[in-house]
Chains A and B, each alone.
Chain A
């Protein structure tokens, strides 16, 4: 069947603009697979930067992983880090620019495997950074290998019979672990699988940026995301799988929030 002809004049003057690309996002087509959460996560971070009016004072650090090209989309100054080292790079930036807003954007392989030491020590020192952690329970970029966050029974290219404790150890709840550290100021787990979740995740990211002004420690925002391609599921099914399988193990919500006194300037 032919596609129905849609006759909309997009340049029509009388159309109201409901939602625009903020200036903090470059006018570039993203390379992410259809339905992937990375694109949404990028957008809400950049919307947060635009709404806070801090584009000229924000430095981002891109990881190694599918979002390695984050700087192709985010219209802010950025540095690309080696696999796992993003929080060390961000620490360096913050020590030169203590009044700027610095964030890292990292996948689970990057942050919770190769970069575990850097992550723990950065948070434990209480560096005034925002760490955005995209947990899709798999290594996306290298083609779907097991991540520390891969769930029991989850099939990946390196856990072909499903992750088993005796061979592969346990899925790592790095976020809960980090929340134990005194340097962690704000720790929360959010998702981007539906509009309501996206709104909450964006609020968390805005908090993470604003808390840097207090210089009281690290903000850590986990975003439970998906990888339709390597999960071998179409986008809608992937989000269903996320709700059924990931959220029971990685429940959404705040894990550590600043007290009223913590928030006094």
Chain B
């Protein structure tokens, strides 16, 4: 999947182009509809939407735990499977985004908890590999 890796900062390779800003730490990129002002995620290709850096802070809107390895294709994660948290994070006044929630025990997850954006590796065993959108409990962000 080399062709889908894009360099961000010095070490991070985002899973897709136009997903994270070049800032350190990076922010998630959404798209503002040039006509209606509606913010969407991810930012669509083309001229209809203007890329916008989304808020780094949000609250957990809902979640679940993915307990089995998704089918490949399309899943490109590691063969070795550990359950992970699928989160929907509300970025106030902007959009609710689907992402991973990491660095928290499953039993400590609560709807309404404060979280911060911090990309995580698709393969936890390869911390400098492909990075995907993720959040951590607020206060623990880099």
Do chains A and B stick together as partners? no
